Chains A and B, each alone.
Chain A
Amino acid sequence: MIQLFHVSKYYDRRLALSDITLEIEKGEFVLLMGPSGAGKSTLLKLLIGAERPEEGQILVQGRSLSKLRPSEIPLLRRKVGVVLQDFRLLPKKTIFDNVSLPLLVQGASTGEIRRKVTEALRAVGLDHKKDLFPPGLSTGEQQRICIARAIVNGPIVLLADEPTGNLDPELTSEIIELFKSINARGTTVIVATHDPNVLAQVNRRVITLDHGKVVSHEQVCS
């Protein structure tokens, strides 16, 4: 479903990713491991069209991202859910409004929005907090809202960039379990992290990056 062929990316002549070739199948759970600055976030940015590679090709569902017109990038992003370390929730909007945003931008009807937002909030166990505002929630709850927003429109792939960076080990486990359950429903999940606690809990495919290169590629059997 996602294929990278000899992808390289530079920032002001500084190499961020070098000659990356890999393939991720539909329904996989992939961990992108590596220290800070290894190129994990750059790789995720390439997958949502926020950055373009200087060399190589990226295909998502057979479509080359380098051939996408700027007006087609929003359409790609509607198929990809994104979870970030700093949540990026809108503090002045209710939980319901935050989660409904991806549906709203697609022009979903009021009934569809209500149904899907309720489902997504139920999936993360926070449907009873839909009328609250993000600052009134705990850190773990905010991250779960962020996940609900990422899955509300049924994306084909969920990208998470250091999703447990701000969480303690107990909350980390909760979030990882949530990712596993989302993956079990058929969504491809790619989690970029440097947290060894995550690795310990996810016995799946692990791609390790360092200095922009893939240094190891393991398939861990669960």
Chain B
Amino acid sequence: MRRLMYLLREALANVLTNRTTTMVAVATTAFTFACVGVFLLLYVNLRAMALSLEQDIQVIVYLQDDVTGQARAEIEQQLKADRAIASLAFVSKEQALADFQVQFPAESHLLQGLGQNPLPASFVVTLAAESRSSDAMRRWADRAQLIPGVGQVQYNQAWVEALAGIVKYIEVAAIIVGVILSAASVTIIANTIRLALYSRREEIEILGLIGASTAFIRVPYLLEGAALGLLGSALSLVILKAGFELFRHEIRSASRFLGVDALLTFFPFEMCLVLVLVGLFLGCAGSFLSLLRFGEGRA
């Protein structure tokens, strides 16, 4: 117990001895983590938006004009049996015309000039959640196209694929930026620990002489690194949350983005916890690197 108290006290003493260096290290680490956090936040929100849009996207299976009632029933049967489909609604030619007249009253005279109803009957399909990705949707549409009696299969392909592409780019960018800035954080913490090791080299030497194990000598520095990483990542979350709330407030004030603010979300609690733990781990890694590089604490 006394040994544990000693190790904790030493870690605290390290932090207090190099107060300015520690504060600079925490602030810089917080800033670098916040940069990674901005990308993560962008990724989390765009991904949530993509998922929500995917849920709204419907696939329209147009039937050929010469399809008989029996053929239509067979197509409906086949679609209903398909596990990739969550729900299905039939829109007759008459219904399609009525919908068109309601949605585009100014253009309805164009169709009247044609004499007969040119709009095809269709099935409006909502795919099951696991089939809503752009790839799965494309594969399903290609398959549906081959059903006899089906004329054309349409869905908002460009939208889905563009959004999936953006999310993918953000994901890659977040990984690259995350790796680079994490390495930067590790370096910053490693340098802070190196300074602590340098300022206490005599004490380290004495501890070695009186029989302290390598672990006993190293633990306070590992704790210090962990504390720096933890404080840095916690502070970065505070900065991110403040920035996020400010951004949401601005969005709310701008009337053309009406309702968008409700779609924006901050990291859930579990993710905040993971980010703080990642900071703690990177801090430990920084300390460990310094201890290894300078061979301090070795008998």
Looking at the complex, which one of A48, A78, A104 makes contact with B2 (CB distance below 8 Å)? A104
Binds A, one of B103-111, B185-193, B212-220, B249-257: B212-220
A113 to B212, CA, bound (A): 16
A105 touches B2 (CB 8 A): no
List the count of A-B residue pairs having beta carbons below 8 Å apart: 59
Residue of B nearest to A80 (CB): B211
Report Cα–Cα, A82/B207, bound state, in Å: 12
Q: Which of A35-43, A69-77, A180-188 lies at the interface?
A: A69-77
Which residues from chain B sit less than 8 Å from chain A, CB to CB?
1-3, 6, 13, 202-203, 205-214, 216, 298-299
A138 at the interface (CB under 8 A from B): no
Q: Is the beta-carbon distance between A107 and B3 smaller than 8 angstroms?
A: yes
4 A-B pairs with the lowest CB-CB distances in the bound complex, closest first: A78-B211, A77-B211, A73-B299, A105-B212
Q: In the complex, what residue of chain A is closest to B4 when comparing beta carbons?
A: A107
Give the interface size class of chain A.
20 to 34
> Which listed residue (B6, B202, B205) contacts A104, Cβ 8 A?
B6
Question: Which partner residue on chain A sits nearest B216 by CB separation?
Answer: A105
Q: In the complex, which residues of chain A have a beta carbon less than 8 angstroms from the beta carbon of B1?
A: 110
B17 nearest in chain A by CB position:
A92
Residues of chain A within 8 A (CB-CB) of B13 are 92
Whether B298 and A105, one on each chain, are in contact in the complex, defined by CB atoms closer than 8 angstroms, is no
B212: which A residues are within 8 A, CB to CB?
A: 74, 101, 105
Question: Once the chains bind, are A105 and B299 in contact (CB under 8 Å)?
Answer: no
Instruction: Tell me if A102 is interfacial: C-beta within 8 Å of chain B.
Output: yes
In the complex, what's the smallest C-beta–C-beta distance from A16 to chain B, in angstroms? 19
- Identify the closest chain B residue to A111 (Cβ): B2
Near B by CB (< 8 A), chain A positions 50-106 give 50, 70-71, 73-78, 82, 88, 90, 92, 101-102, 104-106
In the assembled complex, the CB of B130 is this many whole angstroms from the nearest CB of chain A, namely: 53
> How long is the Cα–Cα vector from A149 to B206 in the complex, in angstroms?
11
Pairwise interchain contact B207-A101, C-beta atoms closer than 8 A: yes
Q: Contact: B209 with A48, CB < 8 Å? A: yes
Cβ of A109 under 8 Å from chain B: yes
- State whether A88 touches B211 (Cβ < 8 A): no
Q: State how many angstroms separate the Cβ of B292 from the closest Cβ of chain A.
A: 14
Cα separation A76 to B208 with both chains bound (whole Å): 11
In the complex, A49 has a CB within 8 A of chain B: yes
Is there contact, CB below 8 Å, between B299 and A109? no
Distance (Å) between the CB of A35 and the closest chain B CB?
25
Contact of A102 among B202, B203, B211 (CB under 8 A): B211
Q: Could you jot down 12 A-B contacts, CB within 8 Å?
A: A49-B299, A70-B298, A73-B299, A74-B299, A77-B209, A78-B211, A88-B206, A105-B207, A108-B2, A109-B2, A110-B1, A149-B210
